[in-house]
Structure 1
């Protein structure tokens, strides 16, 4: 399911936006300021962010800049009570994709969200393919040729995260924060256990391997 992060310190606006998004089938995460939004983004898979400009602790400008540094392919829709041209220009310069001035029509907001998701090809196309293997994030299933395999949720999310950036090294701490969340109280050796299970499940699959990078963490490699 496509997950949208809504960052706005106005509870009424968040409630309105989230109501229309949920009614349209989206999964929602909520934040009351930019700092909380960044923490949520680091702890789970987020497909699009709707962010207000005027927020406490970290405003929308700073949040937009940090999100864009973290991910060039994350759709960003900026909300504001103001409509001055210079603010729109600044937002676009910082990396926002679209702009909506309050008060706005929720149906227009929905249309803009769907347009951004389509532009970034987020939704039904959330698949990673390599060799005979396909990871389908919509169904959380792995296709091995014509065979389908359903993994436990955390195993799938771990594999999807690693496979999304072949060759990139992730530390155990990064994987814990991005998949289990920054509030996870368990041992980071949880990652080792899940990696071991993934290796055992796909031992007979020649298309990829998960390598241990001594002293650092893990990386995903596609076999040529």
Structure 2
């Protein structure tokens, strides 16, 4: 949030469940509520709903882990969106911008273009020569992370942490499997940017 506050030129007030009441009674007027759903009690969710409703339907961005997607129920009232907890900073920036400034959703920063590939961070879509590429969520997340963090080698362990968001029980081989699948789907031109760094991991070369 501190990094995003500088990128978006906004002020951020961080609050924990036990300090939520203090935050909303601080006298500040909020334009967006970002709520991390990890371990949030139903009582707090209800309190957030009440606060949002009582204040003209403040937009909400819900942050959740991938395993929570199946049980996700988006709020019926007001504008809301969600983002995975292990999403890159660029994705958070796009999602927050959409909610803060509706009508200006598609901005240049939504897109990462490299050679014949375009990644739309706002819609989680990848195209090659204008044609959509059928990627799984984790394949997309891995590709978008590497492409938005170029020219730096990441170990398999670091990629598991940054992309999967946890220590994957199957071990680091899953990174190699996903890299292989991504390379095969994006074609040789983009695959050549995804470089194997011997003894380290992978690097996206521009």
TM-score (normalizing by structure 1): 0.52
2:140 aligns to what SS in structure 1?
Answer: helix
Per-residue CA deviation, residues 174-215 of structure 1 (Å, 9 max, x unaligned), is 111122112532211100000111122233335852101111
Work out whether 1:44 is the aligned partner of 2:28: no
Name the residue aligned to 2:39.
none
Aligned residues between the structures: 143
Name the residue aligned to 2:169.
185
1:182 aligns to what SS in structure 2?
Answer: coil
One of 9, 13, 16 as aligned partner of 1:8: 16
CA contact (8 A) 2:156 2:201 kept: yes
Per-residue CA deviation, residues 84-121 of structure 1 (Å, 9 max, x unaligned), is xxxxxxxxxxxxxxxxxxxxxxxxxx99x715x99xx9
Name the residue aligned to 1:197.
181
One of 213, 217, 223 as aligned partner of 2:197: 213
Name the residue aligned to 2:138.
154
Residue 169 (structure 1) shift: 0.9
Per-residue CA deviation, residues 23-48 of structure 1 (Å, 9 max, x unaligned), is 3122167xxxxxxxxxx5xx334555
Structure 2 regions of 5+ residues with no counterpart? 1-13, 25-43, 53-57, 61-74
Name the residue aligned to 2:148.
164
Following the alignment from structure 1 to structure 2, what is the Cα–Cα distance between the partners of residues 8 and 131?
A: 43
State how 1:51-66 maps to structure 2 within 5 Å: none
In terms of fraction of residues, the more strand-rich structure is 1
Following the alignment from structure 1 to structure 2, what is the Cα–Cα distance between the partners of residues 216 and 207?
A: 18
TM-score (normalizing by structure 2): 0.56
CA contact (8 A) 2:160 2:175 kept: yes
Structure 1 regions of 5+ residues with no counterpart? 1-5, 30-39, 49-73, 76-109
Name the residue aligned to 1:129.
113
